[in-house]
Each structure stands twice: as C-alpha cells, then as structure tokens.
Amino acid sequence: MLITLDGLGDRPSAQLANQTPLAAARTPALDELTKIGASGIHQPFGLGRATSSERSHWAMFGQTAPFPGRAYLEALGSEISIAQGSPHFHLSLRPAEFRGSQLHTLGRVSKADSEDCELLFTDLRAMDHELAPILHALRPGECILEAPKLSTHEISDSDPLFGHIHPVLLPVALADAKDLPAAQNCAALLASWVRSAVALLSSHPVNISRVAAGKPALLAPVTKWASLSQSMESFESVTGLRGAAVTSSALYRGLADVLGMPKVHIPSDLNDVQGDFEARLKAGIELTSEYSFVHVHTKATDEAGHTKNPELKRDVIEALDRACESLLELSKSVTIAITGDHATPTSGGMMHSAHPTSLILVGPHVSPDETSVCSEQIHATGDLGIVQASDILALLAHYSHRATFIGHNIGAHRTIALPDNPATLDF
C-alpha cells in the first residue's frame, strides 16, 4: 500500500519554533510506525528539483512511458470525452491587469466569480477564430480546451503559474517536438487565439461591471498541461501487480482510469480531515484483500500548505495521524509506504518546492532502523537514505518479497514485481 500525504514536505517556519509542520506536530501513530519500520527522505526527482503531483505519482507508480499530460487525466477523471489524438490543454480564466503591453495574473478565481466566469466562457466559445476550440467545462474558472485543428500538443504553457515572477507567457513550440515547423505553426495559432480572447475579455460588459465594482477584471485565459488522448499500457502489464486506488479528485480518478486501475472514489472533505482520511484508509484496507497494490491519497496536507499557514498544516497532520492508528495492525500483514509526492511550503512565495519529504516504510518483512520520531530531520538519518519517486514501487515489491530478478524476463514487460498473472504454458 502506498499512502500519499499530498504536499507533505515543507520548510522550517519561525511560527513553529523553526520546525517544519511535520516536526512540530504531535504524531504518536506516525512515530510508532517510524519506530517499527525503516525511514528515509523522498526527493521525487533528485535534490533541488521541485515537481508536480501528477509527475511524481506517474513515477511512483512505476511508469516509464511518456507522461500523457495532466489535462488528459483531468478530462478522463471528469468524464469529458476527448477525441483520440486530439490536442488539448487546461484553460484557466485568471484575474489580471495590464502593465504596459504585458498581462500579469493576480491569483485565481474564487467561488464568488463562478457566474461571471460562465458568462465569459460562453462568449469565448462563440468567438470567431481560426482555432475554433471546444471548451469543455471543468470547474469554476477552468475548462479543457480541445483543439482538433492543431496537429500537435508539443507547445509550451501560456500560464505563468508564478504570477509574481512572470507575466502571461507566449506559447512556443517545444524544442524536441517531433515536427518542429508544425509545432511552431500550432503554437502561433494558439497564441493568436489567446490574444483574441484577451481582446474580447478586455471590453466585455462583465469585466466593465467588475472594474466598476472594485473587482479585478477576469482578463487572462491561460493554457497549460498540454496533452494528447491516447491508450496506455495498464498498471498491471507494466508493474506486474494488480492495482487499485482510493481517489480524491478528478486528477486521481483520471490517473487510475488511464492505467486501468479499479478505484473507490471519495470526494475530499476538508471540513473533517480525520474522518475523511479514516474513510480512505478503511476503503484502502478493504481493497488489499483483492489487489496486490493499493494507493490511498489525501489532498488535505497540500491544501493546508497552499494557505501559507504553518500552524494549520501542523494541525492537519495531527488529524491525519489520529486516523493512522489502523495502520499499526495492517503493517503486520501488508507492506506500507507513507510519504508525500512533493513539498508544499507554508512560507515563502513557492507553490511547490524541493524541500525533503519524509518516507516511512513498514511491514512484516521490514527490519526497523534506529529512527523513532516522525520528522524530516530524523527520517534523513534512516536506513533508506534518499529515495527517488521511481524507487518507491521497487521498495514496496522488495519488502513484500515480490521483487523481480533483473535478467529474468517474465512475459513481454520487465515488470517491477513478480507478476500476479503471468502467461503460463498450457499442457
């Protein structure tokens, strides 16, 4: 079982006596799991490299095929049908202001902006432009922009993500695009659509009314997460393990769907962090009776990190810890990894960072190391050392006595674990 506490990693905070939220939290269950297991530090893609949830999970799930794009996973998880081979992107409508000739985003929309966003999206759908995209509703202020007229999705983002550093960006062809001239033409067409959309939004009655009311105009329709709908090898065929997932959002539903993993979906309830996580763990434990790999995800730690409130994140971790009591009994029969997919710092201007994330590995075949307290500083002294995302599933397989033998080919794929269902010779 892989348990992901999304965005668990953090940096020390003056509000917490120069400790991280995890180190400052009272975590008796995680302390006990640390004591009976082995620990280390998870740096998904190596020291100093910050990452996103989807890329980290793709690697933690043992996938070596090119990542299909987050927009595709969001569309799948939201039951949005995208034509096979049709390039598409995530489109966000952001509050923004002009500074000279550049457009600077001012955060994100709120629920209070939902009606205005819908009116603006309606007119963007009707806008006359050669690109003629299909805008599939996703969430308030967000769409999937499908562009059947583009021949490739190998285009950079226009969304700056870090609005305090960059203005809205120019979409350009990726340097390693398979057909660079075609990608350059496609990028220019997408950039033209964004410019036309900004012109429409700048004079739109909704934004004129917002400015008159002292609200920021919703001027920036920005794209990111370029994707291409495609069929992928199943989780079982790549790893050898029959996998299932307890999902929390459209992204994780889509991740399970694209890899052919059965799922139990429990929408996040951030008003009851402990109860929400208890329900997820209960569902995950039930799945272990039928599946050899189970993923359980909670978004609570990441959401707390994005508030930039270290004390709130500490309290969320304490609530999650209270739900972890059931893992003590489970660890007698199931190998469990508990970690974060990245760091979401509660101080500083970073969205995600490369700060270390704790990793606990516990199970019937795991020999305890000398660590006994759950914190990044203590876990850095554990026997596992520094572990990358692509090592997680291999560690779980090894400590479950399921590791494959390099050079022994069991079927078409060099799987991470001894497969559940190899092709056998029928006599």
The 10s digit of each residue's pLDDT in 71-104 is: 999 999 999 999 988 999 999 999 999 999 999 9
Percentage of the chain with pLDDT > 90? 94
**176/218 same-domain check:** yes
**119/212 same-domain check:** yes
User: Which H or E run contains 57?
Assistant: helix 53-60
Q: Is the residue at 412 inside a domain? A: no
The confidence score (pLDDT) of residue 310 equals 96
**Whether the predicted pLDDT of 178 surpasses 90:** yes
- Number of domains comprising the chain: 2
**48/123 same-domain check:** no
Q: Is the residue at 414 inside a domain? A: no
The confidence score (pLDDT) of residue 24 equals 97
The confidence score (pLDDT) of residue 230 equals 83
**Whether the predicted pLDDT of 347 surpasses 90:** no
Q: Is the residue at 407 inside a domain? A: no
**223/241 same-domain check:** no
Give the pLDDT band of residue 427 (cuts 50, 70, 90).
very high
Residue 31's domain comprises 2-65+233-399
Q: Is the residue at 422 inside a domain? A: no
d(CA 286, CA 1): 11
The confidence score (pLDDT) of residue 229 equals 86
The confidence score (pLDDT) of residue 358 equals 98
Locate 363 and state its tokens: 């199970």
- What number is the average pLDDT over the span 48-61? 96
Q: Which residue has the tokens 């806008």?
A: 127
- What number is the average pLDDT over the span 24-34? 98
Q: Is the residue at 39 inside a domain? A: yes
d(CA 333, CA 322): 21
Calculate the average pLDDT of the chain. 96
- H runs (alpha helix) in 218-324: 235-239, 250-258, 273-287, 300-306, 310-323
**Whether the predicted pLDDT of 149 surpasses 90:** yes
The confidence score (pLDDT) of residue 231 equals 85
**Whether the predicted pLDDT of 305 surpasses 90:** yes
**Whether the predicted pLDDT of 351 surpasses 90:** no
**370/224 same-domain check:** no
**Whether the predicted pLDDT of 224 surpasses 80:** yes
**211/137 same-domain check:** yes
- What number is the average pLDDT over the span 368-379? 97
Q: What is the CATH number of the domain that holds 317?
A: 3.40.720.10
* C-beta atoms surrounding 423 within 10 Å: 9
Model confidence, pTM: 0.94
pLDDT digits (tens, 9 = 90+) for 239-259: 999 999 999 999 999 999 999
**185/280 same-domain check:** no
**Whether the predicted pLDDT of 144 surpasses 80:** yes
**162/60 same-domain check:** no
